[in-house]
Every structure is written in structure tokens, then in C-alpha cells.
Structure 1
């Protein structure tokens, strides 16, 4: 099998699979994608490398139709548009990717012998990440779930959440920045105007107030003006800063930004570090999806960016990898969920 890079379509077998999709009738293409995924799940051990490659390509096609998924732009992908794929293929694609990465897998073994293995593995993890994004709930609903959990299990942390933002201040910030905030950010600010004191209430960076959003944006724009090279891509996917990025959360100069540039990625969340270029590959399709995932983590114990909530010995919140038992020498306990919290007794 000729292979020239780590992407889902960067090999002869994947290119042949995509060519077969182009040759098939529109009505038959979803079935061919499904077959490529199912064959991996039904295969004997060790998993054949050609079956694995076709499954990865099929998973990439499913991912491209999901919120936050990247469109297929490879010259070796299908030339013809892939019809809308059934929603159940997302779960099947996740299982197929897990099978490709697990032992015994010929494809994994071949990549593990090269220095490109981490990049290949990271690409599969990015596909899986998009496939498992939760269906976004209204922002007010997600914050209500977060508030309810914190009030019950971490009341001191909940007290750090600020009251709703002043609509007039929100409007003034938008005018000063020369852009409109996305609906989900407006809805979030209508629930909480950031936090009043730094704390690890969310798995990412702490949310900022309207004043904090405006101040951080102005600072980055001013630095851009003094150092024009920072706005140039210069071989990277993203610049250091862009004036159409809205920093909604920040810590130590590093911010989680909402991308308001025109295009299919508008509204997505990414990271803008103070000493690096912007990154969106590991981001979220929108703020509402992110907040839904946070609420799910509190209610059901699921992970957000590989982190789950814990409670410190003093009742504070901390987010870390599953299985961590201490923080700075102090014990950490798993945060209770709706599955582990006893129901109130009834008379």
C-alpha cells in the first residue's frame, strides 16, 4: 500500500475507496461508507491494514458532515459530493476508529514503527472527538444544569459566578470592538458575566466578564498593531491573533476564543496562547456545544477535553484526568453525578 502522509486519504487504498464511491450511484454511497465501517467491526484479529484504511477514510467522510467537522479537501478524496449520511453512522464510526487504534491492528503496528506515529494517532483522535460532540442544548439550559449542580455540591464555587451582564455594557463592548457577539455568547453573558474571582469552575479557562472580554481584545489588537508580523500566517494555519476573534475565557494571557470570521467555521471555539499561534483543531464547533459538554460532565461524569470534575478536600472544584487522587498533596474526590447522588428521601 503506497502511503505518503498521515491523513485519512493519503494512501492508495483510501484513494481507491474514494474512487469507488465516485463510481457508485448516489443512493448507494451511504451504504458503501457503512460497509467500510462495519467490515472493521466484524473482522478477525489481527485487523487487516486495508480494511482499517478504508474505515478511517469512511470515518473522515462521516466526520465532515458533523458540526465542527472539517470538509474533505484532499485531492485523493471523493470528487463527487457524498450524500447526507445517516446519523447512526457517527456511533459506528467511533467504534471503528477505536478498533483501528486497538491491538492487534496491522495499520497501527505499521505506523508505530515510524516517527510519524504520534501524528497519525492524533489525526484519528481528532476525528473521534468531532464524532462524539454532544448535541448542543440552549445555553440557558446548560447554565441552569451547571448552576444546579454547583449549588448542591460546590456552593462556594457557585458563589463566584457573577450575575447576568448589563445589556447596555454588552452593547457598548460590541460597538467598541466593531463586531457582533454570537447568539450563544450573548445568552451566556445573560446568565453570568464571567466570574468574580479566578477559579477552576470549567475544564478550560475561566469565563471573562464583558469588561474582561473587551480589555483582552483591545490588548491583543494593540499588540498586533505594534507587531504586524504577528497577524501573518507565515506557514502556520492561524496567526497569533485576529481582530475577529472574541476572547470569552482567559487565564495567564492565554484565551479561549470564538472565531467570528466568515465561513463554515464561524462561531467555533479555539485557543490563542500568548506565545503561540491560534489553534482550532482541538476546539469546539460553538460555545453552546462546549457548555452542553460541561453540563453533561457534571450530571453524568463524562469527560471534557480529557478532564473530569473533582472536589477538593475543601469543597472546591478541580478538573483533571480521570483517576487522579490528589492535588498538591491534598486528596481529590470524584465529583458526584446524578447517577451517584442519592435521591432525596421521601416520607
Structure 2
């Protein structure tokens, strides 16, 4: 999907998600943070040394992640059970995963391995966190959703990374726009549940 199309699909899906949250789960809507600042968006671009995909920029420009904790818990906005990261949280998570990767990889092979894997097409599985991966959500249990910013036709796809296995599954979404459109459709088809505390869950 071209960049302009991604942005258009993302914007439309965000509008549908926002409408559903306001009507059915206002607490979950209130748990979303205000839009990311331009400085934060630039910081994310600088971290990955390339422009952000337009659909990811649109998402963070709508809400810079979600608050978490007892006083501001909106549940799991992203199925099957992920909470959106703020840009600051995303960059911190990326830094931590990169630190872990460096510690477990043989030092004399690290640079060659990372360069080789980082130059493979987006969507290619890998057990180790790579510099071209930018987290966008967490399950608060060692799992992340990330956008794969490597090159190739699947550039911008959304993949899952788990502490014990890495990223070994094929991308569940072609890009952030596809993810957002899927969330909007599932919400509108009543696939989500809202508990007594106003939190979104996916049975």
C-alpha cells in the first residue's frame, strides 16, 4: 500500500475507533494519551534513521500511546492483548531489547549478524531484536508488537516479538493502517468486550 493510501486508511480507521470508544468504552478512550508532539515524532525518526511510515505517524498523532495502571487502565485496545506504546516507551523498549540482544550474541559476530539480518526484507523472521524494528505496543508480559522498517515489499508490516522466542511468526498485519482497520472492524462487529471497569478485552 502506498504511503498516501496508508495514511488515508489509518485516518479513517482511527476515526472509527475513536467513535466506538467514545460510545462504548469512554474510560478506555480516556486512557489514551494526547497526541505525540512533533519533537517526539522526530526523535522516533532519528532513532531508526529514517522517516516514520505515514500510518504510524497518523496513529501517534492521534494518541501517544495509552496510560496504564489502576487509575487509567483502558484494557487491551489491540487484539489479542496489547496496549499501545507512547513514543518514549517505544524508544525505551527498543533500547532495552537491543541491549539484551548484544548481551546474548557473541561479540565477535554481533555486527556481521545484525547487518546481515537488518538488510533482509521486512517480514523476515528473526530470533534477535534488530535496529530496524520499532515497537508500537506491549502485552506487559515480555511481548511487543513492532513495525518492521527493513526494506522490501513488506516494509512497515506489524510483527510480534516475544522474549523467549523472538519474532518467528509471519506478520499479522501488512502495516499499521491494516492493523487499525482490523481493530475498527472488530470493534464494530462486537468482537471486543468491555468489562465492568470500562476496559476493552478480546475474548
Shorter-chain TM-score category?
0.7 to 0.9
Aligned counterparts of 1:279 and 1:137: Cα–Cα separation in 2: 30
* TM-score w.r.t. length of structure 1: 0.48
Does the Cα contact within 8 Å between 2:154 and 2:174 map onto a contact in 1?
yes
Q: CA deviation at 1:215?
A: 0.4
1:313 aligns with 2:202: no
1:216 aligns with 2:93: yes
Does the Cα contact within 8 Å between 1:246 and 1:260 map onto a contact in 2?
yes
Q: In structure 2, list runs of 5 or more residues that go unmatched.
A: 118-123
Q: In structure 1, list runs of 5 or more residues that go unmatched.
A: 1-66, 68-134, 302-307, 321-347
Q: Secondary structure at the match of 1:185?
A: helix
Alignment partner, residue 103 of structure 2: 226
Alignment partner, residue 166 of structure 1: 37
Aligned counterparts of 1:219 and 1:227: Cα–Cα separation in 2: 13
Residue-by-residue CA offset, 1:201-246 (whole Å, 9 max, x unaligned): 221411100101110111111222222258678xx94232111111
1:154 aligns with 2:25: yes
Q: CA deviation at 1:165?
A: 0.2
RMSD between aligned alpha carbons?
A: 2.4
Q: Which structure is richer in relative contact order (CA contacts within 8 A, separation 6 or more)?
A: 2
Q: Secondary structure at the match of 1:281?
A: coil
* Correspondence 1:198-217 to 2 at 5 A: 198=73, 199-204=75-80, 205-217=82-94
Q: 2:166 aligns with which of 277, 283, 295?
A: 277
Residue-by-residue CA offset, 1:160-180 (whole Å, 9 max, x unaligned): 011100111210232134333
Alignment partner, residue 195 of structure 1: 66
Aligned counterparts of 2:100 and 2:60: Cα–Cα separation in 1: 26
Aligned counterparts of 2:125 and 2:25: Cα–Cα separation in 1: 40
The structure having more radius of gyration, on CA atoms, is 1
Alignment partner, residue 120 of structure 2: none
Aligned counterparts of 1:221 and 1:317: Cα–Cα separation in 2: 31
Does the Cα contact within 8 Å between 1:177 and 1:214 map onto a contact in 2?
no
Task: Give the 3 Å change call, closer, same or farther, for CA 216–282 of structure 1 in structure 2.
Answer: same
Aligned counterparts of 2:58 and 2:125: Cα–Cα separation in 1: 30
* Correspondence 1:249-268 to 2 at 5 A: 249-251=137-139, 252-268=141-157
Task: Give the 3 Å change call, closer, same or farther, for CA 178–245 of structure 1 in structure 2.
Answer: same
Aligned counterparts of 1:265 and 1:288: Cα–Cα separation in 2: 13
Residues matched between the structures, number:
179
1:241 aligns with 2:158: no
Task: Give the 3 Å change call, closer, same or farther, for CA 260–177 of structure 1 in structure 2.
Answer: closer
Q: Structure 1 segments of 4 or more deviating over 4 A?
A: 229-233
Task: Give the 3 Å change call, closer, same or farther, for CA 216–196 of structure 1 in structure 2.
Answer: same
Does the Cα contact within 8 Å between 1:179 and 1:244 map onto a contact in 2?
no
Does the Cα contact within 8 Å between 2:48 and 2:134 map onto a contact in 1?
no
Aligned counterparts of 1:172 and 1:282: Cα–Cα separation in 2: 25
Aligned counterparts of 1:240 and 1:147: Cα–Cα separation in 2: 35
Q: Secondary structure at the match of 2:147?
A: strand
